[in-house]
Structure 1
Amino acid sequence: MSAPNKSYDPVEVEALKPEEIERMRDEALAAIAVAAGLDELREVKVAHTGDRSPLALANREIGALPPHAKAEAGKRVGQARGAVNKALAARQAELEAERDARVLVEEAVDVTLPYDRVPAGARHPLTTLSDRIEDVFVAMGYEVAEGPEIEAEWFNFDALNFPPDHPAREMQDTFFVKPLAGGSDGDAAESGVVLRTHTSPVQIRSMIDREPPVYVICPGRVYRTDELDATHTPVFAQVELLAIDEGLTMADLKGTLDHMVRALFGVDLTTRLRPAYFPFTEPSAEMDMQCFACRGESAVNPDRPCRTCSSEGWIELGGCGMVNPRVLTACGVDPRKYSGFAFGFGIERLLMFRHNIADMRDIIEGDVRFTLPFGMEI
């Protein structure tokens, strides 16, 4: 860069001559006009507005001019650089608009096409309902207990006060397991090992493994030699509850049943107890729930029949009662100090009530058309 010289004529500085400034400006405008894309325009911008561009170098020469010549030269260079920057901005906006229009065409998505080739799955409603039941009782302070599905006869029958000649021990009701070395069906009946017919053995194991008080919920699969039809299946899900503590009564059982029904089916529903007999409870009762569809009105109003409860106003859920003192004694619990209550019901039956399922075979056949409407509730 030249040193200041008051007698130097600016027209004699080649880079600052008017025709030279116009030439630099016109070259830049021409390059901007023919830039075919944003990348090419970026290169043009560096070449004509960067630190080493002709107009930038000419601007540096202004400092060497005498004071009276700087204003005119600066105005001339500034106007040229302003025109170039304005052209750059206009061309960039034009190229960006072209790019956006092209992307809309080239990357268009047909929103009417299937969004996913792999269809969404669904949880089996039995699993969902079982989890919901567990949540109800865990919120009350109960513990979820589990046990083996292949069970010793003592846990499945003897500890539950089933006498040796009880019909449930016969082959027509119970699956007996053959010894490992094989053998005949008769050997299986004498093996002392069965596929559990209820989840009550989990209650026995819970009383043996825990010191009172005991509050457990016992869900799981059970096995009985039933024929598969619309209302029966040889393998089904069951859930049972056991509470052992000092001073428990039938009133505690009734209150627990009412809370369960309201939590699963809605408020204002109640339960009722009808006398019954079970070896492992005394006294025993059948547990009925007020029909959640008609709220019991169909039983007193013949003009409003109800398919859910067959116009009876009540739905039978399962058995319940106070734990038999003999069962407490078999598990090492002092019946003079502790009392308890228990109840149990089939989850398939509860699912059929809740969703008006007519055939139990639909629940177990594994057809996705049955499970999909229930969705992915967690």
Structure 2
Amino acid sequence: MSLPRIAIDAMGGDEGVRVMVHGAALARRRHDKFSFLLVGDEARIKAALDDHPNMRAASEILHCDEVVAGDEKPSRAIRRAKTTSMGLAIAAVKSGDCGAAVSAGNTGALMAMGKLALRTMPGIDRPALAGLMPTLGDNDVVMLDLGANTDCDARNLVQFAVMGAAYSRIVTGKAAPRVRLLNIGTESIKGTDDLRDASQRLRDATGLAMQFDGFIEADKINRGEVDVVVTDGFSGNIALKAIEGSARFVTDLLRTAFTSSLRSKIGFLVSRPATELLKHHLDPNNHNGGVFLGLNGVIVKSHGSANAQGVANAVDVSARLLEDDITDRIAADLGEIGELSMRDKSVSQETAK
């Protein structure tokens, strides 16, 4: 059975067509069974394809010269969904013409259009934005929600945990990823009522394909001790920005230190292999590709400033999610949660009697 093709919003992002096509071409070297629908200005796409003959035979161009601006309100972007490259890429997933869409454009607009066009999966109240972050361990950590939902209840957090674990099983290969809820402490009495309620529900759902063991604090996210960190979008976005800012701070601090004197410059030459490894590990392009989990279709968000390798990683994420059928994995675990909820409801009704 042939794999569904991937729609690329070629107009999104800071660099636009050239980088998006280049990134897709790099990704195709790893996923040569996929084909692509390149949505955007036909003349510019054809010019970019001249440098990537491996993409020509595997690509179809859908002409569109309208772009969703980076500062455009989602409500306005939705009204222009039928005439913009982002909207047409998502429409291709809705129609079944493509299995996934990748865009480096406006995150809010992408989320709004994706949710309106594709709707959420049965059993999912809200989709969540999940991303990968580096750790000291062997695998990246999946974190969600990173900003799609600022206010979440216990039910939302449980659903996020199910979706995050399914995603982690694909990217890490682990049969039962380690899942934790982000909290201000690890003790069971810490946090809000919703956090404690979500924790108890996940502990009770013994049939889930995950290892759940309560809470994790923010300073442990990148230690490699957990595979999935679950939180609401407000806290998740703050944590993400703090981690990214700390990474840039360390990088800039090292750069300043190594250029402060002749001795420091000599020291830099000696330690350059180690600093290059650090730079590579902290480079967001190497962990690019946020996923809107919970939709009836795969939507992947690339950093707006991503280079070709970063775009390739985002396309790679979409291909792996299609190859491993992320929606089926989520649906199977949601069945377990659904059975648990029905048992809880039955117990509550009996107690009320």
Larger RCO (alpha carbons 8 Å, 6+ apart): 2
Q: Name which one, 1 or 2, has greater alpha-carbon Rg.
A: 1
Whether these two folds match at TM > 0.5 is no
What TM-score, normalized by structure 1, do the two folds share? 0.21
Specify which structure has the higher proportion of helix: 2
